[in-house]
Amino acid sequence: MLYENWLQTASLNIKTAYCPPLKRDVTSDCLVIGGGIAGLHAAFRLANAGKEVILLEKTMCGGSSSGQSGGFLTPESEEDIKKLIKRYGRKRAGIIYNIPLSGVNMIVSTIKDYNFNCDLRKQDSLYLSIKPSHNDKIEEEAETRKEMNLPYELLDKNELEKIHPGGYILGLKYSGSYGMNSLSYVKEMKNLLLKKGVKIYESSEVNTIEGNTVKTHLGSVKADNIILCIDKMKKEIHQEVSKKYYHVQTFLSISEPLTNEEMNTLFPKQEVMCWDTKWNYTHYRPVVGNRILIGGSSVLTSYYSKYYHSPTIINRSINQLKKRFPIIKDAKFTHYWAGLIDVTKDLVPIVDYDNKNKSMQYVMGCAGLNWAAFCGDYAARRILDPKNTEDLTEFLGLNRKYFLPDFFQNIFGKKITFAISHIRELIR
């Protein structure tokens, strides 16, 4: 197996212009920093409103998480509706559930409106119980969806066999989810922004920010409004803000093209995107060319500070899938890659103004393509029409309280603080 991000091969058909580094001092109405989904959606909203926009990106657009993802587009990401209700109560959970939901709709409608070529697939979600003691997770989720009037089907073993015959014992199926190649999406989005007049500078890492002036190694931008959508912020940019998020590591792999018979055995009726009830869940879905894209993680590597290059973790997920579907036991998985997803301590992103400079906003810790799209767009709307933009500070605020306060992090460090905080979110 090759350690390589297969999405790069799969998106070679989308050509994008070379955007050279910023090499001079310039000014603009708006500056967006970071060319992931959040930054691109922020720039998109601002450009559509006629603003002059510059986008600075450290590597290339999609050079981090947004160009490495599995492309599962579902409102139920790290935070399912049941957990949100437990944390916020029913009414407030509805407000925050709307964020990933709107994010999915925003991405899908952009793809359709502009005819993006990014392997968009309508794939219902299938949440699968691997053993009887896990059935209550599925049942509780079904119960919550019923109370919230959200669509779902609860499928027993026999019904599951007709849709996805892998020996799972209970499943929850619902519509409203899609799959896409997220790197192709980013490249299409970059092309669209260039057409709309956004000036994009790649290989342009922001090193310091002083007031409204942002400096790279070779140039600077002075802007009336700044939106920072960067991952893994260095403390030189903002020491306190950089403490607010860390990452979790996850792994993906891709199969060689499968035969129609193999594919029809896995998905006899329709394509679905699947994940199971394990804490470090295995997830997979069909992608272009009759391949299966699969993801997995492990408790131990989740909080590693660096990329873990061994295939051990993802091989575990691949072998589990092969056991459930012996027809693919000899299929090769050709590529695998690791990625670090930025997260906050409570797994909900931050979108907020800088404490001292209200013309600068942070968009950070978006654990999901849909959250990122919404949050980038939301920050832009707050520039364009602050009075009529909903106030989500209670959920997304920079200064919100977490289970473990800052002094705990100062003593025990990021890894331990974030791990404990996430375990608490997942079990409560």
Residues forming contacts to ligand FAD in the complex (CB under 6 A) are 33-39, 56-59, 63-66, 68-72, 77, 205-206, 229-231, 250, 252, 339-341, 366-370, 372
- Alpha-carbon distance of 381 to 367, in angstroms, equals 21
| Cβ-based nearer residue to ligand FAD, 170 or 227 | 227
| Cβ-based nearer residue to ligand FAD, 130 or 375 | 375
| Cβ-based nearer residue to ligand FAD, 125 or 170 | 125
Shortest reach from residue 189's CB to ligand FAD, in Å: 11
149: left (phi over 0), alpha (psi -120 to 50) or beta: left
Q: Where are the beta strands (DSSP E) in 195-244?
A: 199-201, 208-210, 213-215, 220-228
CB 144 within 8 A of CB 81: yes
Shortest reach from residue 44's CB to ligand FAD, in Å: 12
| Cβ-based nearer residue to ligand FAD, 118 or 170 | 118
| Cβ-based nearer residue to ligand FAD, 63 or 166 | 63
Does residue 67 sit in helix, strand or coil?
helix
70, amino acid identity:
G
Residue for token pair 């989308």: 14
Q: Where are the beta strands (DSSP E) in 88-211?
A: 121-122, 124-129, 153-156, 170-174, 178-179, 199-201, 208-210
Shortest reach from residue 254's CB to ligand FAD, in Å: 12
103: left (phi over 0), alpha (psi -120 to 50) or beta: alpha
Residue for token pair 């594919």: 263
Shortest reach from residue 165's CB to ligand FAD, in Å: 24
Shortest reach from residue 330's CB to ligand FAD, in Å: 26
Shortest reach from residue 338's CB to ligand FAD, in Å: 7
40-51 b/e with 16+ CB inside 10 Å = b? bbbbbbbbeeeb
Does residue 234 sit in helix, strand or coil?
coil
Shortest reach from residue 251's CB to ligand FAD, in Å: 7
Give the length of the chain.
428
| Cβ-based nearer residue to ligand FAD, 264 or 305 | 305
Q: Where are the beta strands (DSSP E) in 307-420?
A: 333-344, 350-353, 360-364
| Cβ-based nearer residue to ligand FAD, 135 or 315 | 315
| Cβ-based nearer residue to ligand FAD, 144 or 253 | 253
Q: Which of 248, 218, 220, 250 is nearest to 232 (CA)?
A: 248
Q: What angle do CA 81, 68, 395 make, to 5 degrees?
A: 35
CB 249 within 8 A of CB 304: yes
Shortest reach from residue 63's CB to ligand FAD, in Å: 4
| Cβ-based nearer residue to ligand FAD, 172 or 229 | 229
- Alpha-carbon distance of 404 to 262, in angstroms, equals 48
- Alpha-carbon distance of 102 to 118, in angstroms, equals 19
- Alpha-carbon distance of 350 to 244, in angstroms, equals 9
Shortest reach from residue 71's CB to ligand FAD, in Å: 5
Instruction: Output phi, psi for 263, to 5 deg.
Output: -65, -40
Shortest reach from residue 186's CB to ligand FAD, in Å: 8
| Cβ-based nearer residue to ligand FAD, 69 or 110 | 69
